[in-house]
Structure 1
Amino acid sequence: MEISQLVLCFFLLLLAFSLDAPHHCTDAAATTPPPFSFNFNFSNTYTYRLDDLRFEGTAAVHGATVDLTCDVAQCTTGRMSYGRPVPLWDRTTNEVASFATEFAFKIITPNDKARGDGMAFFLSSYPSHVPPKPSGQNFGLIAGDGENAGSFDRFIAVEFDTYDDTFERPKQIGDHIGIDVSSVADSINTTSLNFSRNGAMKASITFDNVTRMLVATVQFTEPPGSRSAAPVQVSAKLGDPRALLPPEVTVGFSTANGGTFQLDQILSWSFSSTLASPHPVIKGNHKKKGMAGKLAIVGALIFVLLVWSILSWWKWGSSRRDIDKRTGGVRQFKYNELAAATNRFSSENRLIGAGPFGEVYKGFLREMGRHVAIKKISKESRSEGSNRDFYDEVKIISSAKNKNLVELVGWCMKRRWNIFDFICWCREKANTIFLVYEFVDNSNLRVHLHEKEAVLPWTTRYKIVKDICAALVYLHHERCPFVLHRNIKPNNILLDREFNAKLADFGLSRSADKVGKARYLDPECRKTGKFKRSSDVYSFGIVLLEIACKKDENSYAKVWRWYIEKSVMQAADDRLRGEFDERQMERVIVLGLWCSQPNIDMRPTMQQAMDFLESDGPLPELAEPETSSRNEMPSDEYFAPGTGGFEDGSF
């Protein structure tokens, strides 16, 4: 996502909160408070706060349920109630509320023959507490031993009785639901209901302020198939609630077990009253404070993100200017331009080569009207965090103008932006990079030396030698600071239709994880990890011997033996059938040995090498290397760069 789009999103978010804030404030300050209600789903902690509930005895939230008791004998009494007063009638207007409550619950009886007493939904004076010595037969609503029973709160309750109290209350046998008014022993009305299935149930209780009827309905909702069972209902006319309870009441659930026990659980609970909250001002202030706190937090976050976005925008612009400066202003292509030029980097008809740095594709830039070679340098082939080194290399490569160097047309960096990269803009991330070169249309020297059936004639080979030498003289001696190639080999010597040689890939090895094949890499460099101009000279010498000499596993050692025996012409490539200039052949072979001497102090500079090729001066007297130094050449394994530094003057 573009940074400008993110900034726009932040402004729109801020505007949305600004427009929405007055709406909340208006609700909080409304002159007519809404009817009182609440709704709790205990399987979702976002639907309730523990501050809204009061727990007594063994009652507590356990996972997705409120357990009023538990299925062990020690769990005797539990009560859960709404923690604030609930309106029942208005002291000023004498208006009585109609109310309704719904709750899902379970009564789990581990022993059907010795079950607990059950539970009750109740309304009582606010505040209300568990009385002393509560008994199971009274569901914890009044004292169990009968002492001072009349001194405790009056209540209205709907009981869910699971205790077989045949001998204690002969009128009722077995499980039942009933309606109680300040007494459990004498229920106003009861209806039988078998609780032994241990399944979840749904209960609804309503009171109509006109008819004064209290109606309780219960229905099993599980196990599956029980939904179709007919609900069980009990109802009773209560009379005037103002004579039974005060204006503000406590609503909740109460249970107690005697000598036996069971698990009583509440799964969800909702309650609504037609009267408004008895404390609208306090509630409104609470809402205002909560909303103000939320808006303050959101506003602070938006402010921080907005400031960070502005800094990111400035950093992005600064980074772009810095890149332009570091790369010398060479053209930076868009990824879509290169994808279009290569048929989206098709491997079928556009891939023309691959190497340690990545793949090379042939493309056509319609805007420029020319073919180009696009080298895809993957993240895996470069050192971690090497973008800055790469920018320096692009500047050096683009400023190197010589007919024997492949021209750099431009470059591209494909970035994968995500929100984490945007937030962490201070962290430089290695990306996939593309270098766009001129297209040299006659393959490379390795192909013409070793893969083509037609033998490359000596005149062409000698011209290639002079071209390579001229390119290295330019890099080593005609630039300030000088440039090291670091990866001279036949694959990087490209040829055009007239067999003019052009060096490619110069300078790229500095930020790569791999540099050069061991066959062409200076042994001294492999030991120390330090690249010098003499390292390029060594690679140049090995390439000269490959151009001029026979292809043999031990050719390097043999050429040295023939040189010592003063019969160096025996090393000449026999595929040429003697069709070559002997003076040129001799000087190229001797120069190859001179440049590839193990002792770096004995090697010539590239300027000396060019002078030697173009003159008729005497051949140098080369010191015979030790036997171990002129053994078989190394394999074509790639070597990683060492930790040593670079010669002064290199980029």
Structure 2
Amino acid sequence: MKIPSWAAQVLKQMVSDVSHHNLLTLGIASIQGVAVASFEKEDADRLLFFWRQRKECHIFECFLPLPALSSPAREQRSRTSKTELDGSNACNLIWFFFEHIPNSINPMPTNFALFFLGILNVPLATALSFDFPSFDQSSLSKITLQDHASWSSSNNGCFQLTRSERDGNMQSSQGRAVYADPLLLWNNSDYLTDFSTHFAFIINPNGQRQPGDGMAFFLSPFPSNSSSYPNSGGCGLGLFSAMVCQSSTDSISSQPVPIVAVEFDTYPNPALDDPSTPHVGIDVGSARSVEYKTWDADGGDDKWQGDAWVSYDSGTHNLSVVLALRSNGSRTTNYSLSYIVDLREVLISSEVSNGTVYLLHLICSTRQVAVGFSASTGINNETHTLLSWNLSSTLVKHPPVRRRKSKTGLIVGMVTGVGTLLLLLLLGFVFLWSRKKRANIIRDQHQLLDDGLEIQGRPNGFSYEELAAASRNFSEDVKLGEGGFGSVYKGRLERLNVDVAIKRFAKESSKQGKKEYFSELNVISRLGHRNLVKLVGWCQEQQELLLVYEFLPNGSLDSWLYSAQNHLRWPERYKIALDLASAMLYLQHEWEQCVLHRDVKPSNIMLDSAFNAKLGDFGLARLIDHDLSWKTTVNAGTLGYMAPEYLDSGKASKESDVYSFGVVALEIACARRPSTGKLVERAWEFYAKGRVVEAADEKLNGEFDEQQMEQVLVVGLWCAHPDFNLRPSMKQAINVLNGQTALPNLPPC
């Protein structure tokens, strides 16, 4: 579909109407950032907009002509003469255009609607994911370095965020490393982003007994530039005004800055209520940490080597941090902290200025933020080295937030009228197009509905031919695993440019196997959480039943706990326990219905490239009201993970799933199978002797945080208590795991 010529004429006419202004400013939002080019009014008539189709993906392109001028404006325009935009950035382009038209000029809403129709079906911006195990010079194309930050070939390729010893004076240095693409924070109001990131770093005091000042991982409005925050060196960590360190009052810091950061602060600043030792802290709009944990450090010759995991749950607004820190000659110590914060309220500071821009705010409701690292030194100094970085994000649909009613009837009328027009035209187009192109999928959907399944339009329908091609005709070479239901294969969907795991149910599946297929599709298609395996699509064709899931490269948890080749360190294990608890909390308390999984075990817990845990395999899952249980005539699940009362009565409940979680928590800490290793009994024996930490996996060689280990073991025993009346809720369990609630005194079993 090409943009109509009349739509381009509308824009050109709107440009020519600005007759009493010499210059028109047009914002060009690109994936690298926002660049601004100015050009003469008569040049505006030469703007061309058109479509190009690439493998079913529409690309919106904007060309700026280059007149024969010799000026800085021309040089700036030459760098941005051709920009490819996704749907979100196309909205930014229109937004910027209207915001810079003088308020005295009010284009007709009809003309605006016609122009917007020309670009409406540009695909929306997608979630952001990347992985840098180290940094070679090619990574500079995706990571922008600012101020004194530089690339170094040491440590297999790394970034020095501040000046190093070879640069001479290391004092009063600051620098940033910012990912070039934005992170989508939310989209269309009820789609919010969960993200998790892991990075490794070194802070080296270079022999100073009192080093300074520290580094931080941060999120800020996109694009992010250190010039937006002058005088931010020293205690400001390159993010906040350093003037706060010179005042004992809140007069300066009371003005919130649209920044959220996780700081690794090495210099105590009394004006910021800093502790006397280095600490990891969460900063929200200010350099004063809202939560922090101190670490033991003497400075001097020690350098601090850290691994940090930062994750955000957009449903609960929980920002959590896990830090594994090692100093020279000492073992790794782990720290964890969390804080409840709605990132949208902190990071989005701009306000709409007129009715037209407000309309764009409603239609193009997407918000993007920058992610990166910042560091600084003052009179005291140190070096800050970034060794690796990965990040993954997922758009999750949440119940829409109730908004305040608009006070302006005109805006409501414009939104209603234009929205109705757009909806009618789009529905007509979709109807005509889908009749020809997607007849088979529609027929499959009707068949699924006949079988009692509510699809709700969330996952995609795939043809059998496409899935067969993606998996090399289900070759044994790409088989990931096999079970009673059938087999799982790795596949590559070329049109989506994504790797997937294809779960193929055996053709000879029994009635129970078909029931599990429909049950799994019915349940997982409704859910959305960063710690649940994401369903990409399904297929019911040629007597084949297939489910398509996101591919998670690190496989299942049991392959790491019991493999001679793989070794899972304690920080990853602790985070996996937290991730699983978060998924269970969502299933039991945070979704509109209670989801009974009935088969929580390590082989159903998958790990992505950053060892984020995701619960999968919902073939036995059931949806119930929150205050009910599920009665079955045949026990379903795996021995060793099934609660005693479930085995006796066949009645599944929240408490029986909590029992399964408790067994898995003990398995994470002890690396013993419940069926053969007397996992639960052995842990109770150590607990009764007051030495529960001694139940830990011997392969860890004592390299773990004892407090965290005790939390996981005690929560595991609490959840796996044989009396279901004495088990905690998942809310209680996760509070103890996070260290927010004291350990319970467990009654003997």
TM-score of Structure 1 vs Structure 2, range by shorter chain: 0.3 to 0.5
TM-score (norm 2): 0.37
TM-score (norm 1): 0.42
More strand by share: 2
Higher relative contact order (CA 8 A, sep 6+): 1
CA radius of gyration, larger in:
1
